[in-house]
Structure 1
Amino acid sequence: MDASTNQISDDYTEVYSRLPLRVHLAYGVGHVLNDVCASMWFTYLLVFFHLVLDFSNWQTGLMLLVGQVADALATPFVGYHSDQSDNFVFCRYGRRKVWHLLGTVCVLGAFPFIFSPCAGCTNSHKSAQIFYYCIFIIIFQFGWASVQISHLSLIPELTPNEHDRTKLTAVRYCFTVISNLVVYVVTWMVLHLDNGEHSRIGPNDGPKFQHVVWSVLSLGTVCSLIFHVLVKEGDNETSQNVRGGQLRISMKELFTNMKVYQVALIYMSSRLFVNLSQVFIPLYLHETLNMTASSLALIPLTMFIGSFVTSAFIEKINRMCGRKLTYTFGAALGITGCLWIKFGQGNSYVSSYIYVVACLLGSGGSIILVSSLGVTTDLIGEKTDSGAFVYGLMSFTDKLANGVAVVIIQYLHSDASNTTYYRDVLTNVCGGFRSCRGCYCGIYV
């Protein structure tokens, strides 16, 4: 029995060591298309529809809510069907990759229309234009969910090791940060060079956003091709499922396990902090600090530089300190940034300290997001056959909560003279969600 166990361990180590670097990198770029679209969606959707297309705060929040609800409903659907191996005629290509491919087509086909004037209806009533945009938003969000869930569910199948799953997650997030950097650099170049240093966002900036969209979609398309060519799902070289068969989590086990709800709360609060700070930072810069158009790209760029630098060390920090301490450290950085926003004022804050705040938000968000994804992979464990559905459930809570939060925040902003509104949102709402970290300590006690 001992000899057999040792032989299995040796075989396990041998198979595991064969995962090449090119697969890590190819896997990482497989989510770049989603990342560049998400960066545009969360950072500039409200800016584009409110400041460029002249929709009200409530209307812009409603369209973002429609997208988040569509995404929330799509994620468990995609997750469930992605876990099936015999109900899709194209599953020979890979049950995860076929959904990734389907989602890529939907994203490329719908996203450009979201950041463009209403084709043939620019003079129509706002309600008609909202209906027009919501059609493309729903298609885009279904595609986005398909790519996200299929890509995430590959992690526990590629490797069974906790630290290497964290490494894959960190590589994935590293490319997420790079994607956001590209979006903000391109946006800054377009807005800064075309608008000049002292201009602000207005209705004439619509074509500039379209230039940004087409530029980043081109990058995302190339990265998706690399992913589909180099990552072979189920191939002996890349598949690390060495336990002789895949396991599935039963529905009863899933919904009666308290850890599932704890992990969902941690994942949801982490995403809320990252996404809401990304959504409202540009509006805070525009309304509260009265900064120029180029700053709406430069400050988010600084946030993701902080994220990028931090993401390179997350796996090592997690290995040395464990997930709990790592997550708590990231939450502390985020709360510090939120408090600084509350009390920051004056010329020195606008010209200098706001960049430090951006780094704190970016670094804290990077740490808590990678840690929360790592906790989710730990929850799946060896039962990788239900991985996509579990990721879908986690994402369902995240997307729905984000949409509801944004539409409520936008609805309550009815007084245009209240220039400190988005400052208070970043401090109280984003900082408040970081306080949810306390329940993390009870997950694996």
Structure 2
Amino acid sequence: MESSQQHLISNDYTEVYQRLPAALQLAYGIGHVLNDVCASMWFTYLLVYFHLVLEFNNWEAGFMLLVGQVADALATPFVGFQSDQLSSSHCYGYGKRKIWHLVGTFCVIGAFPFIFSPSAHFIDTQKWIEILYYCVFIVIFQFGWAAVQISHLSLIPELTPNEHDRTRLTAIRYCFTVISSIFVYVITWLILHLNSGDNSKLGPADSPKFQQIVWIGLCFGLTCSVFFHIFVKEEGGYGGRDIRGGQLRHNVKDILQNINMYKVAVIYMSTRLFVNLSQVFIPLYLHETLDMTASTLALIPLTMFIGSFIMSIGIEKLNRIFGRKLAYMIGVSLGIFACVWIQIGRGTFYLSYGIYIVAVLIGAGGSVILVTSLGITADLIGDKTGSGAFVYGIMSFTDKLANGVAVIIIQDLHKDASNKFYYRDILSYVCGTSMILGSIGVLSLMHGRRQREGLARQSQVPNYNSINYEVNSSDLIHPST
């Protein structure tokens, strides 16, 4: 029965499989906008808000970001495992992925506004209680964020078995990530620039402005989530998935024993370190090293994400033409060039023009490696979509833990306030090193491709990608023979 079903799929797949409808791709893409809005605020302005507005010291601000990253790191594999274990039954378009997305949305909406608001007046005099107060909402928010992220990512291999469609969904998802970030930075620039003027610096009086930014962003993100839940149905059988004989699942032990899973985890972790640490420390670099005004703390990140948006349009084609390896290396080259320029950048030209070019390079390089690393992860999952959430959870665990530890160490080491070049060196050396580590991971994965260690090779279901394409150059985990 199994062999006959495979024969049917192999012979008739080109007739059964259809490209995902454009409306579905769009609806899927906006499903992570709420998370993206919050992530832009979290990574770009959390340390700025806690340190410059609420006047926590460097270690206290870094500690609270670490608490959030650890909570997220622990939540992601938990949510992934629990999501994979749920029944595949559907009710009104809600299956095991979308139900977690809905739960996470409620947690994010309920907790995030409190993070960027002054603490209750009755605890203002107790510093450690004030920290505990923020940590409670941070943990709730990060659990919700993880639930939305993992459920949304794990829908990609379920919506389509085709590698290039998966890359397209990932690119569309990232495109909306960039749009969300641009939206946040435009709103931030308008509020800080119009209400503060050109030459002002951030201070405690700016707290209400951050609350305005948060509420505008949440309203935008919640609207997108509503459209996602209305138009994306888990039982849709898009792309011919309904003939694949149900969802296949990896054994957890097999996942943890597979060496390629750890290689991909290194790639994903390194990629996220570059993207997130550059996003976290660019505002502090602008404020402390370059001594720029409050409005530029929104304008430079905005420029960075405009570069990401421009590059994200062609990432799917870049992966198709050059393959995962070369596409990732192109992104690495852009990022390392930006890190070198940050280290040697001096003078009026750099402050007036060069910093904007650097921002574009960081955004463009980050978008290439991030989308490509997510494509590599989808390749790792292959047709075993029943374990997709757990695999994404493992990847996110390494990412969040590494980012949290890196931030607290970086903040704790910054004890000399007179060292104005500290954040310049962090962006140059730490972000540059993470790029190099990610490229090493890609090279090691390519070196081991002939050993067929990828999780997708364990399946007997035929390679759908090779049916539709004569050349499958970007397949790292299960390359065509």
TM-score range, shorter chain: over 0.9
Change (3 A) 1:107 1:4: closer
Q: RMSD of aligned C-alpha atoms? A: 1.9
TM-score (norm 1): 0.97
Unaligned runs of 5+ in 2: 450-481
Q: Which position in structure 2 is the counterpart of 1:374? A: 375
Judge conservation of contact 1:155–1:165 (CA < 8 Å) in 2.
Answer: yes
Cα distance in 2 between the residues matched to 1:321 and 1:237: 27
Aligned to 2:465: none
1:69 corresponds in structure 2 to 70
- 1:281 pairs with 2:282: yes
**Alignment check: 8 A CA contact 2:159 2:237 kept:** no
2:298 partner letter = A
Distance 2:356 2:336 in 1: 16
Which residue is equivalent to 1:259? 260
Change (3 A) 1:74 1:4: closer
Partner of 2:385: 384
Relative to structure 2, which stretch is displaced further, 358-367 or 251-260? 251-260
Deviation at 1:126, TM superposition (A): 1.4
Counterpart residue identity of residue 426, structure 1: L
Give the alignment of 1:317-332 within 5 angstroms.
317-332=318-333
Displacement after TM superposition at 1:442 (Å): 2.1
C-alpha distance in 1 between matches for 2:19 and 2:304: 35
CA drift of 1:123 comes to: 2.4
* One-letter amino acid of the counterpart of residue 291, structure 1: M
2:93–2:235 Cα contact (<8 Å) kept = no
Deviation at 1:130, TM superposition (A): 0.3
User: After the TM superposition, which residues 31-50 of structure 1 pair with which residues of structure 2 at under 5 Å, given as runs?
Assistant: 31-50=32-51
Q: Using a 3 Å threshold, how does the CA distance of structure 1 residues 355 and 92 change in structure 2: closer, same or farther?
A: closer
TM-score normalised by length of structure 2: 0.90
After superposition, the C-alpha distances for 1:405-432 in whole angstroms (9 at most, x for unaligned) are 0000000011111110000000011111
Matched to 1:315, the amino acid is: E
Q: 1:18 to 1:259 in 2, by over 3 A?
A: closer
Partner Cα separation in structure 1 for residue 327 and residue 46 of structure 2: 32
2:374, 2:4 → 1: CA distance?
Answer: 36
After TM superposition, list the pairs within 5 Å mapping 1:189-268 onto structure 2: 189-237=190-238, 240=241, 242-268=243-269
Counterpart code for 1:20: P
Q: Report the CA distance between 1:253 and its aligned residue.
A: 1.5
TM-aligned CA distance change 1:238 to 1:130, over 3 Å: farther
Equivalent of residue 440 in structure 1, options 424, 439, 442:
442
Matched, 1:13 2:14: yes
Aligned to 1:177: 178
Residues 18 and 240 in structure 2, CA contact (< 8 A), matched pair in contact too:
no
Cα 1:334–1:383, aligned 2, differ >3 Å: closer, same or farther?
Answer: same
Q: Which amino acid aligns with 1:171?
A: I
Per the TM alignment, residue 294 of structure 1 is displaced from its structure 2 partner at its CA by 0.3
- In structure 2, C-alpha distance between the alignment counterparts of 1:238 and 1:435, rounded to whole Å: 37
The 3 A distance-change label for structure 1 pair 121 and 283 is farther
Bigger CA drift: 81-90 or 223-232? 81-90
Contact 2:88 2:96 in 1 (8 A): no
CA distance in 2 between counterparts of 1:239 and 1:295 reads: 48
- Structure 1 residue 11: Cα displacement: 4.4
The whole-number CA distance in structure 2 between the counterparts of 1:78 and 1:270 is 22
Corresponding residue of 1:306: 307
| Residues 116 and 343 of structure 1: CA distance in aligned 2, closer, same or farther (over 3 Å) | same
**Residue type at the aligned position of 2:444:** G
Moved more, 316-325 or 121-130: 121-130
Instruction: Describe the SS at the equivalent of 1:160.
Output: coil
Q: CA deviation at 1:240?
A: 2.9
Partners of 2:111 and 2:197 lie apart in 1 by 31
In 2: Cα distance, 1:87 partner to 1:12 partner: 24
Distance (whole Å) between structure 2 residues aligned to residue 135 and residue 223 of structure 1: 26
> Could you give the per-residue CA deviations for residues 124-157 of structure 1, whole angstroms, max 9, x where no partner exists?
2211110000000000000000000000000000
Give the aligned partner of residue 349 of structure 1.
350
Corresponding position: 1:138 with 2:153: no
Q: Contact 2:307/2:360 (CA < 8 Å) preserved in 1?
A: yes
Structure 2: how far apart are the matches of 1:83 and 1:69?
Answer: 22
Question: CA offset at residue 255 of structure 1?
Answer: 1.4
When structure 1 is superposed on structure 2, of 13-22 and 80-89 the one drifting more is 80-89
Q: Show CA shifts across 1:73-107 (max 9, x none).
A: 00000000111233999797210000000000000
Shift of 1:237: 4.4
Per-residue displacement from partner, 1:374-397 (whole Å, max 9, x unpaired)? 000000001000000000000000
SS in 2 for 1:93: coil
User: How far has the Cα of 1:198 moved from its partner?
Assistant: 0.9
AA of the residue aligned to 2:30: V
Is the contact between residue 160 and residue 241 of structure 1 (CA under 8 Å) also seen in structure 2? no
Q: Is the deviation greater in 242-251 or in 190-199?
A: 242-251
- Seen in structure 2, the aligned counterparts of structure 1 residues 427 and 157 have a Cα distance that, compared at 3 Å, is same
**Structure 1 residues 411 and 14, CA gap change in structure 2 (3 angstroms):** same
* Gap change, CA 1:6 and 1:364, over 3 Å in 2: same
Measure how far apart 1:348 and its partner are: 1.1
Report the secondary structure of 2:241's partner residue: coil
Change beyond 3 A, Cα 1:257–1:4: closer
Aligned twin of 2:272: 271
Letter in 2 for 1:442: S
Counterpart residue identity of residue 277, structure 2 = L
Between 1:121-130 and 1:100-109, the stretch displaced more is 121-130
Task: Give the match for residue 478 of structure 2.
Answer: none
2:235 counterpart SS class? coil
Residue type of the alignment partner of 2:398: T
Per-residue deviation, 1:303 = 0.4
Give the deviation of 1:244 after TM superposition: 1.1
How far apart, in 2, do the equivalents of 1:92 and 1:177 lie? 28
What is the distance in 1 between the residues matched to 2:16 and 2:235?
Answer: 13
* 8 Å CA contact 2:319, 2:327 repeated in 1: yes
C-alpha spacing 1:88/1:115, structure 2 compared with 1 (3 Å): farther
| Distance in structure 1 (CA, Å) of the matches to 2:239 and 2:164 | 17
Cα 1:84–1:15 shift into 2, 3 Å? farther
Cα distance in 1 for residues equivalent to 2:435 and 2:222? 34
Mapped partners of 2:317, 2:75: distance in 1: 34
Q: Give the superposition deviation at 1:203.
A: 1.0
Cα shift readout 1:197-241 (whole Å, capped 9, x = no counterpart): 111111111000000000010000000000000000122347735
Distance 2:441 2:5 in 1: 41
Is 1:15–1:240's contact at 8 Å kept on the other side of the alignment?
no
- Per-residue Cα deviation, 1:334-383 (whole angstroms, up to 9, x for no partner): 00000100000111101110000000000000000001000000000010
Letter in 2 for 1:161: N
Q: Does residue 86 of the first structure (1) align with residue 87 of the second (2)?
A: yes
1:74–1:277 CA distance, 2 compared to 1 (3 A): same
* Greater Cα offset, 400-409 or 236-245: 236-245
